[in-house]
Structure 1
Amino acid sequence: MSKPTLYNKSCYGLEDIEDNSIDALVTDPPYGLGFQNHEWDKGHVPEKQIWEDSWRVLKPGGYGVVFSFPRLMHRVMIDIEDSGFILKDVLFWANLNGMPKTRNIALDIDKELGVESEIDGEYNYTQGYIKDGADSYKVKERKYRRKPASELGKKYAGSGTNLKPVYEPIILIQKPISESNIAKNVIKYGTGVLNIEDGRIPYSLQERGKKIGHNPHPIGRVPSHILRYEEMNDRYDKFFVIPKVRKQKDLFNYHPTIKPIELMSHLISLVSFKDQLVLDPFMGSGSTALAAIIKERNFIGYEKDKKYFDISQKRIDIELNQKLI
């Protein structure tokens, strides 16, 4: 395994990478939602060109996983499919702790009717995810909590326009094989199959040593397309449990959409094998790179934002130094 190769520039073109040289694609591109008003996430999903570029550099049969968002996932999937990839599946990372993105429309009804909504208590407005790091959460101001005063407003009290987001879709894709069958493709390129063994879900502490199912595997369960966060109290753990990252976990990493290293490690394990080469065109603060190091894969990553690129380098240097101790 070599040291990760990082490029502080746009990924479009991937001119640094040879055709048919990448074993797997693992990436978390901008969703196009304008998240927290960040410029890099405004207005549109990634341009189709990056999927055409990725198709060019991936080996025949190579798999990829691409994060997206339910509302715009279809646009990303169309661009990916039109670029030549096979859409294999959609994995669901169920984290259950997303931020609600709605408002009480009853208060807007009051406003439209010229009625002043009633004060119903006070609360502290807290702002986080700013550049000072994990300890930067601070109370900005005291605000009033209000409730509708008009009769029509009361009828629609608590109504809204969106559900709370509790999962993120991860699109599983594959470049078509070039040989007459999968076995020949694996022999020639080392690609064309998922690494089911490395991606198995370990048994829970309660399950270990017990007979699970009709034909239990000694390592664990076959990975599924649901990756969940909280237990379902269903007597045994069928899915991979991965919480969202909290800012306090990393004192210098203030990227607003950090992905858990455990999640990226699981995905890398699933779509690649030891010593293979993984590409992330939208590297962000480097979680995929760290996962590649942990899982003993080679890595190439692109990140055009210098701030996040520097964070990636720092995190990678820390991880590599720990491995040398």
Structure 2
Amino acid sequence: MKRIDLYFGDNRIILPKLAENSVDSIVTDPPYEINMMGKSWDRSGIAYDVYMWQCAYRVLKPGGYLLAFGATRTYHRMACAVEDAGFRVIDQMIWLYSEGFPKSHNLKGEHEGKGSALKPAHEPIVIAQKPFRGTILDNVQKWGVGVFNIDQSRIPFSTEQDLKSATWGRGTDITGGQFVGSTQPSGKTNVEANPKGRWPANVLHDGSEPIMDAFAQYGERTSGKPSGIKKAANNIFGQFGEQPLTGYGDTGSLARFFYCPKATKADREEGLRRFSLQQGGIKNASGRGFSASDPNRPILRRNTCPTVKPVELMRYLCKLVTPTDGTVLDPFMGSGSTGKAAAIESFGFVGIDKDPEHFPIAKARIHHAAGKYKPQSTIFNHGSIHERSEI
């Protein structure tokens, strides 16, 4: 039985009340601090607050991972705050998408065709880890965290032919689980792609047509074939032993290496039937950027949060960094996409948000997901401080 705890309030007040080393991962989408649509919650500076990240650090188990989205121009400030709080920044993911629009001031007259902004098409995600003592194996055995769930996060082959195209007739079987092989009488190894899928990458995309077209323009490409062993050598990083020279060796669009989540209206508003339609933004019909003269029209939504992430994307991220039966923390719950993903994947979940407009939406979405995938559950026993549910 997994517990879902939803807290309404300031995460800097609530996090210190949670048990130390009690969650297995943090997957969150903090404010980008860019004053989106003039919303006060997106200009508070909370994403840069070292104390807030220290509070989250305390609750996370040693070796646990933090995945936090950021905006392209403010990501560095969030990442520095994460690092200053004690986390070790180990990598960055990039999520590519096509639905962004340029928030550009476009000039006219003799300067027609010039503007002040590019079209947004990606968001960075910081990958950070709470440091631990001893070896990775020791930490996994003690705390259950400290490694990525590679096999659960592999990118599946699209077709049987796709799988076959990733198989080679020769090479060496020392590729860290990327391939499986069998030795032939000749002494060569028959190297085959792992049928579970391709190794997860640090680039993701939404699978939309513009993104796929962008990859397709580079044509069908291979990613190299294994060619034996590179001899040991000295370099600026020190002495390296023998290294395999390997690649995937298959052909196709470059998009085949990346995961493809795609947001839908049904995803954003599932479980919100009782909510009335509200203005959730404006749409620019001209494509020229926003100004007083553009023919903008309101967008009516039940989920009025302007930063909803696709649940398929959040499911993927939760599975990547959370052990089976683990608990995910989202200190910036928003409209509940991470909580919905955690419920679908049967993880425990702790969500915190202080926005009175978004909290009921998150509660309803998570309630619906938990009831849909765990229909026997008793959910959301109301409390004065927080909503608590057992699933």
Aligned partners of 1:20 and 1:57 also within 8 Å:
yes
Whether 2:205 is the aligned partner of 1:228: answer yes
Question: Is the 1:58–1:175 contact (alpha carbons within 8 Å) kept by the matching residues of 2?
Answer: yes
Unmatched segments (≥5 aa) in structure 1: 108-147, 149-153
1:266 aligns with 2:285: no
1:1-325 → structure 2 map (5 Å cutoff) = 1-13=1-13, 14-42=15-43, 44-46=45-47, 47-104=49-106, 106-107=107-108, 148=109, 154=110, 156-178=111-133, 180-205=134-159, 207-214=161-168, 215=179, 216-229=193-206, 230-231=211-212, 232-233=215-216, 234=220, 235-236=252-253, 237-246=256-265, 249-250=268-269, 252-323=302-373, 324=375
Query: After superposition, what is the alpha-carbon deviation per residue over 1:252-285, rounded to whole angstroms, capped at 9, x for unaligned?
Result: 3221110000000010011112110110000001
1:159-206 Cα shifts (integer Å, max 9, x gaps) = 12221110011111101112x211111111111111111111111136
Cα distance change, pair 42–2 in 1 and its aligned pair in 2 (3 A): same
Contact 1:45 1:72 in 2 (8 A): no
TM norm structure 1:
0.80
Amino acid in the other structure paired with 1:227:
L
The amino acid of 1:7's aligned partner reads: Y
Partner Cα separation in structure 1 for residue 367 and residue 24 of structure 2: 24
Alpha-carbon shift at residue 249 of structure 1 (Å): 4.9
Stretch moving more, 313-322 or 78-87: 313-322
> In 2, distance between residues paired with 1:226 and 1:4?
30
Q: For 1:305 and 1:210, locate their aligned partners in 2 and report how far apart those are by CA, in whole Å.
A: 50
Q: Is the 8 A contact 1:245 1:259 kept in 2?
A: no
Query: How far is 1:34 from its partner?
Result: 0.5
3-state SS of the aligned residue for 1:101?
coil
Is the Cα–Cα contact under 8 Å of residues 23 and 328 in structure 2 kept in the other structure? yes
Distance 1:175 1:67, change over 3 A: same
Separation (CA, whole Å) in 1 of partners of 2:86 and 2:35: 28
Unaligned runs of at least 5 residues, structure 2: 169-178, 180-192, 221-251, 273-301, 377-391
CA deviations 1:38-57 (Å, max 9, x no partner) are: 11112535222111111111
- Note the alpha carbon deviations across 1:270-317, whole angstroms, 9 max, x for none: 111211011000000111001101112111000111221111111122
Q: Distance in 2 between matches of 1:212 and 1:315?
A: 40
Distance 2:265 2:258 in 1: 21
Secondary structure, aligned partner of 2:11: coil
Q: CA deviation at 1:158?
A: 1.3
* C-alpha distance in 1 between matches for 2:22 and 2:267: 38
1:66 counterpart SS class: strand
Decide whether the 8 Å contact of 1:284 with 1:308 is kept in 2: yes
Deviations along 1:4-28, one digit per CA (max 9) or x if unpaired, are 1100111114033111111101000
Match for 1:170: what amino acid?
A: I
Give the Å deviation of 1:97.
Answer: 2.0
Bigger relative contact order, structure 1 or 2 (CA pairs below 8 A, ≥6 apart): 1
AA at the equivalent of 1:26: V
Change in 2 beyond 3 A, CA 1:244/1:33: farther
Q: How many residues align?
A: 277
Contact 1:275 1:296 in 2 (8 A): yes
2:42 partner amino acid: D
Tell me, in whole angstroms, the C-alpha distance in 1 between the residues paired with 2:121 and 2:259. 15
